[in-house]
Amino acid sequence: MQRLHESLIQQGLTSELQQLILTLAECGVEISRLVRGGALAGVLGVAETENVQGETQKKLDIIANDLIKQKLAANPLVKGIASEEETEVVAANGNGQYLVCFDPLDGSSNIDINSLVGTIFSVLPAPEGEVNEQAFMQPGTRQNCACYMLYGPATVMAMTTGQGTRMYSLDPDSDEFILVEERVEVPAETGEFAINMSNQRFWQAPMQRYIADLVQGKEGPRGRNFNMRWIAAMVGDVHRVLSRGGLFTYPQDTKNPTKPFKLRLMYEANPMSFLVEQAGGKASTGYERIMEIQPDQIHQRVAVILGSKDEVDTCLRYHSEG
Ligand code: AHG
Ligand code: MN
Ligand code: MN
Ligand code: MN
């Protein structure tokens, strides 16, 4: 049995990166406790506020955000933070060497139905000089670490520092993350996909054709049946992909003409792409590798197609055909 801190030592990470990851894990332990408390912890329901994305915030969005902000600010290694729930990036410790982007609570709409939610982190190296939005504008290939915590029947953490993807499970007795899978591998082929089908009429032509062929099953050009799963929390859907393969997508749509994409590059798409690629999967917008996008805004959104490599490649072929 290997505890998180032992596994970080074994990976040969710098003591700075080890310490930072332990702080991220602590955030996960505390949010996990709050989530488990549910109505009794007074964390359910909506707040009166709206975030920069135009979403009504849930109480837990704000509680998790404040908790992470405090923990990160107290770690001298953190120079700046960016969060889904913060309009601007926030400066932390001048001498810190890391920038941390996070989605404090992913899957907010699941909170009140007692379904899956999680937290997503992306760690970037901090450049010299001031902490401003520009400092964060680094492609996902520069990430030092990506991880998510999923507050499911068990609380788990998937983590990568670029040496494969590891899975940990939270021991509820000791409040410690224990390594449960040293090398997560996403199978190249899959018979499972995840997409919000209610947006079908708003997708672009390539996604329309790809999904239409999948749902035709055995009788269609794919010659086999596919199964559909949708958790409505990216952490849940990506966790399924890491656990048994699959294709997860949130494609471009025209439902809201001012918002063609749903998922945010810096604290959703990039960290999840890193975790999936490090487990042998693939992550693309349909036209380019997500982690190679040069960002220009902290809250920018992208199309996401990720998961089992061969199935992502098949989906990309529909895109290259226009
Ligand atoms: P968040 O709760 O952090 O705002 O993110 C929600 C995202 C993502 O987790 C999920 O894949 C997607 O929204 C769900 O979208 P639908 O509302 O279309 O199901
Ligand atoms: Mn949100
Ligand atoms: Mn999210
Ligand atoms: Mn969120």
From residue 146, alpha-carbon distances to 119, 271, 273 in Å are: 11, 5, 9
Separation of alpha carbons 31 and 23, rounded Å: 13
Q: Is 51 left (phi over 0), alpha (psi -120 to 50) or beta?
A: beta
pLDDT tens, position by position, 69-99: 999 999 999 999 999 999 999 999 999 999 9
- For residue 220, the surrounding DSSP H or E stretch is none
Task: Say if ligand 1 is within 6 A of residue 232 CB.
Answer: yes
**pTM of the predicted model as reported, rounded to 2 decimal places:** 0.98
Amino acid at residue number 196: N
Of 39, 136, 150, 145, the residue nearest 88 (C-alpha)? 136
Of 267, 311, 310, 320, the residue nearest 290 (C-alpha)? 267
Question: What pLDDT is recorded for position 322?
Answer: 79
What sign for the dihedral angle of Cα 101, 148, 232, 249? Answer: positive
Distance 148 CA to ligand 3 centre (A): 11
Q: Which 3 state secondary structure label does DSSP give 90? A: strand
In this structure, what DSSP letter does residue 264 have? E
On whether 103 is known to bind a ligand per the annotation, the reply is yes
This model of the complex carries an ipTM of: 0.95
**109: phi then psi, degrees, rounded to nearest 5:** -70, -10
Region 2-181: CATH code: 3.30.540.10
Question: What pLDDT is recorded for position 264?
Answer: 98
In this structure, what DSSP letter does residue 202 have? G
Separation of alpha carbons 217 and 223, rounded Å: 6
Report the pLDDT averaged over residues 143-148.
98
- Under CATH, what is the fold of the domain 192-320? D-Maltodextrin-Binding Protein; domain 2 (3.40.190)
pLDDT tens, position by position, 158-204: 999 999 999 999 999 999 999 999 999 999 999 999 999 999 999 99
- Boundaries of every domain in the chain: 2-181, 192-320
Q: Which atom of ligand 1 is nearest to the CA of 263?
A: 7
- For residue 225, the surrounding DSSP H or E stretch is none
Task: Say if ligand 1 is within 6 A of residue 243 CB.
Answer: no
Percent of the residues in the chain that have a pLDDT greater than 90, as a whole number: 94
Separation of alpha carbons 244 and 187, rounded Å: 7
Of 163, 167, 127, 123, the residue nearest 145 (C-alpha)? 123
43 pLDDT band, cuts 50/70/90, is confident
